[in-house]
Amino acid sequence: MATVRNINVNTTGSFPHLYLSTDLTAFTGSQATFSGLDLLPVTCLTDVTINNSTGIYSFVDFCGPDMNKLTTPADNSIDANIVLDSLEFFGDATHSPATGAPFYGVNGLSSNKIEVQFILVLNGDDTVTNGIGKYYYQGKGFITSIAPTVNPDAPVWVSPISIAVTGSFTDGIIVA
């Protein structure tokens, strides 16, 4: 019988984490820790969707009776919903430098149209546990689709968040 290799996210320490930086060279795939980097952790995620939607161009020619297909560039994005945390969402005006992602917060990065580098760690924080690495997607892009909402049945503010990815994703496993 084949071994099941699920990426578990339902135990303590294995929840997805999204990190944002205004330093567009902040992350490398081999980093086992992000300590020392000027990062904005966006950790109160309620759901996450990773979109890699490669386009397809279809055409027919006189050489055959069937459709032909070619790929076109992908339109990549990360979509999630977040529970608003005042510092993560609105930023920390006391943070230095005043140009870092923690200073702006998610809302400020979006409204000021600041390009960010992101890393989405699928199964936990930024460390290696028991020799098993953490899976990630990383890239650069812009924060979009911010729309905070609240209602009496769910008395915390939540907002969708999208990262419109510029270029390609990088994915892999963080190694020690």
Identify any residues that bridge with 79 across adjacent strands, giving them in sequence order.
Answer: 49, 162
- CATH code at 17-173: 4.10.410
pLDDT tier at 2, thresholds 50, 70, 90: low
What integer pLDDT is reported at residue 131 of this predicted model?
37
pLDDT digits (tens, 9 = 90+) for 77-122: 999 999 999 999 999 999 888 889 999 999 999 999 999 999 888 8
Q: Residue 101 is encoded by which pair of tokens? A: 């992602």
Rounded CA gap, 135 and 30, in Å? Answer: 11
CA torsion sign, 120 to 7 to 154 to 81? positive
Residue whose C-alpha is closest to residue 172's, from 26, 42, 32: 32
Rounded CA gap, 69 and 61, in Å? Answer: 11
Helix boundaries (H) for 24-171? 86-90, 101-111
Kindly state the percentage of the chain with pLDDT values over 70. Answer: 86
Rounded CA gap, 22 and 26, in Å? Answer: 8
pLDDT tier at 169, thresholds 50, 70, 90: confident
Strand, helix or coil at 103?
helix
Whole-prediction pTM = 0.84
- Looking up tokens 């496993």 gives 173
Within 10 angstroms of residue 10's Cβ, the number of other Cβ atoms is 7
Provide the residue ranges of all domains of the chain, joining segments of one domain with +. Answer: 17-173
Within 10 angstroms of residue 110's Cβ, the number of other Cβ atoms is 21
CB-based contact 114:99 (threshold 8 Å): no
Identify any residues that bridge with 18 across adjacent strands, giving them in sequence order.
Answer: 42, 120
Reported as type and span, the H/E element at residue 154 is strand 154-173
